[in-house]
Structure 1
Amino acid sequence: MELENIVANTVYLKAREGGSDSNKGKSKKWRKILQFPHISQCLDIKTKIDVGYEYVVDQQPIGKLLFRQFCERTRPQYHKYNGFLDAVERYEVGLEETRVALAAEVFGRYLKQEGGEAVTDVVVPTVVDDASSLLEGNVIDNERYTFSPDWFSFGCLVYEMIEGRAPFRARKEKVKREEVDRRVKHEQEKYSSKFSECARALCSALLAKSCASRLGGAGRRGADTVKAHRFFQRLNWPRLEAGLLEAPFVPDPHAVYAKDVLDIEQFSTVKGVNLDAADDTFYGKFNTGSVSIPWQCEMIETGCFNELNVFARGEDNKECRTPDLQLTPAVSPPEEEAGCFMFARRTLCPQKKIPPRLRPIPVPEHLLNNTQTHAHAHAHANS
């Protein structure tokens, strides 16, 4: 776990502490704690990170959401493509009994002939074809994988339930992670007399080194091949999945099968780290855009992002940038007269201090010019 992730989670948890309003568990100052920094403090980041589509949109949940909002509001011709991708994604992860209806929705809504436009002979078979045939070559080349690692883990689980230990490490053996990885890749697991011929065949097929020859490695249809193995020949899978048949083994909900996950010191890689003044400075200047992927997903799922991602209203009642998104120089407040009591504490009208991360900072000339050029090009494209 990286230090940035720890700080991000700490800020988020702090924002949700306490509070007695209708939103239980959220601090009254949560909006101030999670407020975005001024845009002038973020311009320099463009020169330090990859601002390409693959990183900003495909890999960042908030970036993907912002791109979808941009297309929906200003590029409707691109927004329908996003809807098509969402429909295909729902089809790929849908249950077996709903895949036919989802495929019909994809075809009828996005691929059906309308207005005399012909649907190409290349797109339709690519969409309705089984996903396993598309991913098979990539799995063999080890560039991408589908469910083969999950079936390997299932084989390790079956092996451990029968033998009482992991397949590639002896009981109470202390071995480095690199050695375990080497054994998984190159050594063959050993079977004792506890394994029947059928159980040994199942584990051997699940723990195969090659993803292509592994049982269940046939893409999304892999579960059918695992269910058809003779080890499970006495199971009635339809009745079991419908809840009409009790499973042969049900874990005891009161038994402890692993150590307490809250005992972080047992497995944390940051054990013994002492935070110094530099870490406190980093905590004070923390940017909510430099967070981990799970933290971004939680911001979206809990609705915090929707409440923070707001725009101002201009004179024509159209959306415009809020002050924190404007690069115009900040207007300095007028100087107040010192008065007769220049050292007296101002208790009647105290000055509100702006946190350092919310203050506008001087922007380098080259970054300001590039930003203004892109803004003019964007305005010209909209017109």
Structure 2
Amino acid sequence: MDMGSLTTVVANSAYISARGSFDGTANPSANRDKKYHARLKLPHITVCEGLRETLDLGFQTACVEQPIGKRLFQEFLEANNEYKGPCRLWKDVEEYNQAEDQDRIKKASKMLSRYMEPSAKHFCPFLPENDITKVKEKYAEAGDDLFIETLTSVLDFLKEGAMVEKRILARVHSRFIVSLAYAFQTKTELCLGMEHLHQKRIIYRDLKPENVLLDNEGNVRISDLGLAVELEDNQTNIKGYAGTPGFMAPELLKGEEYDWSVDYFTLGVTLYEFIAAKGPFRTRGEKVENKVVKKRILNDPVAYPEKFSEKAKSICEALLCKTVDQRLGFKNGSCDELRAHPFFSELNWMKLNEGAACITGVTSKMAPYNLLALI
């Protein structure tokens, strides 16, 4: 929190505490209010400069006891050079896996010179020689599995400093754009969760990024079923206004009857936001009335930034289809049609269902099935 934000918090706190007094004289609580103001007054910044030297930059203080954002994470790396190279290599491996085939050779060559040459500034001496040899011999092939062993070694090294957890916290407590690999992991598990709910005849109605949680293994957990409704055995549709502005499906906004198709519209909005760091029906930071957002959902086409791959764009378009019958989702008791989309073409759903498929770098255990290689 910057000083301006802190000042605002203090001012608001003082107002709330002292709002019972208006004239400051006749009111018997005036003295109490002055005490509140005095208690909330901040010392001058020059008085606080000495505190800088007393700050503990260890993991327990910086990450467990204090919220951590990207800036603090970078400051931690600056103070701990042994983790700087491995963390950069980890990020570059993710970028390599997301890169187009024609760009991978150039990316792999840079990673070789940056992290695997003893004279390099960010040389990673902990990497096994056979891992480096494999990359040197096969980088020209630009294969999906080129850096799998390297990433395993990096994460094993970073475990000592709890850097995996630290990086997750950096993402959670700061404004960030989810990589396509993370969006892919989340999307696949959300599909399974939605299918399970719908097979139990439950319409969720409030899927959004805030309600998507991660457990200790990095797997998705759907939260806040306060707006969920269960259909009776002989019931196929329901009517009622429920959900979050910007996420509600067109048929719901029109006041029509609907089924679980509304959940796949919100799934499309959620996936879009994971990738673009903004919703499909408003720009980042835009403050518009709900009726304007409603009009956009009902009438406006969705624009896709360049960061969307063709497959990601295709599945979002299928989920955000304004015509219910044409929308991708739960049909004939399953999500088989959704699973068959090219976005998931290289995913083994059976392994994912069994828990063997996970995204390396999110989970705390190494799994045999690496989703990072699929993008």
TM-score (norm 1): 0.29
Higher relative CO (Cα under 8 Å, sequence separation at least 6) belongs to 1
TM-score (norm 2): 0.29
